[in-house]
Chains A and B, each alone.
Chain A
């Protein structure tokens, strides 16, 4: 199998005490099943985790840096977006 034809996969591991899978690295493999086995060999030999997810890097859709202004501008100057902005009348205060 030609090195150039191997696909790139991103590896996510969930540790024993964790609730979420964390990104730990990437590797090349021929297909997802092989990627899973290589992930086990490369990323779990020191008791790092109990669960492995591998995703083809080409399947990951990521936000672009140029979009950060539009995407992430904090809503600090938009207090009306927060529930705490609104005063409730005493009669329904414990809604």
Chain B
């Protein structure tokens, strides 16, 4: 059986989109029972579930492309840090509420434009997943925009914490708009999204919201990258040890 190398590229692409969703969803799920109050706890975990749902769709597609040799669980539970290809920003700790919402706003604005483009992918499965996901993202964006305005234009404490959060996260954002060789090949085929073209839209939308929230747009003084190549921050290892503990301790267990 000949190896369809293009299928392998699409599979890796699907895995990375699954990785982004899984890690971001996992961080959001860490708010479960720690939310500032009950209704917000429900809302945050709702968003987490949306992301886990996306993860399943992307991993299921990758499993299909592996000819059934790998399953969704293999991708989620049996890979170590160096095999994960998520953006670095999603693996950062949940931090305080301002940090989580700042990170969420950055990602929601990103996905708002990204998924809109992915809906036009020449790969019909990816386009279908994007079609479902963008409805969720529209709601996520409404929520995070609302919170950034409340926190930024809020008390001295909330404003301070939010500014610190954006300053701490900004250096992780350039990575969102960079593509490696794999993605560039898929962009040429109209399968992947040319993220470089989204940067200015993302930036202006974000700046608009930050301005209204009276938050200063951070200066680009440093950048961290490497997620797509499997070079991660120290945080991912700890996250995976929690996420994968059960499957690793009791391999092949079933509910």
Chain A interface residues toward B at CB < 8 A = 1, 3, 6, 27-30, 33-34, 37-38, 40-42, 45
**Contact present for A41 and B146 (CB under 8 Å):** no
**Contact present for B42 and A41 (CB under 8 Å):** yes
Sample 8 A-B pairs with CB under 8 A, ordered by A number. A3-B37, A27-B39, A28-B38, A38-B43, A41-B39, A41-B43, A41-B46, A42-B42
Q: Most A CB atoms within 10 A — which of B38, B39, B43, B139?
A: B39
Q: How far is the CB of A26 from chain B (nearest CB, A)?
A: 10
**Contact present for B146 and A38 (CB under 8 Å):** no
Q: Does B150 contact A (CB under 8 A)?
A: yes
- The 10 A-B residue pairs with the shortest CB-CB distance in the complex, in nearest-first order: A38-B39, A41-B43, A41-B46, A27-B39, A41-B42, A3-B37, A42-B42, A28-B39, A38-B43, A37-B143
Task: Report the Cα distance A34→B146, complex, angstroms.
Answer: 8
Q: Does B248 contact A (CB under 8 A)?
A: no
Q: Most B CB atoms within 10 A — which of A3, A28, A34?
A: A34
- Closest chain B residue, CB of each to CB of A35: B39
- How many chain B residues touch A (Cβ–Cβ < 8 Å)? 14
**B143 to chain A: which residues have CB within 8 Å?**
37
**Contact present for A45 and B46 (CB under 8 Å):** yes
Task: Report the Cα distance A17→B89, complex, angstroms.
Answer: 44
Mark out the residues of chain B between 112 and 170 whose CB falls within 8 Å of any chain A CB in the assembled complex: 139, 142-143, 146, 150, 154
* Contacts known (A27-B39, A29-B39, A30-B150); A37 close to B46, Cβ less than 8 A: no
Task: Report the Cα distance A41→B49, complex, angstroms.
Answer: 12
- Closest chain B residue, CB of each to CB of A29: B39
**Contact present for B142 and A38 (CB under 8 Å):** no
Q: How far is the CB of B145 from chain A (nearest CB, A)?
A: 11
**A42 to chain B: which residues have CB within 8 Å?**
39, 42
**Contact present for A6 and B42 (CB under 8 Å):** no
**A3 to chain B: which residues have CB within 8 Å?**
37
**A38 to chain B: which residues have CB within 8 Å?**
39-40, 42-43
**A27 to chain B: which residues have CB within 8 Å?**
38-39
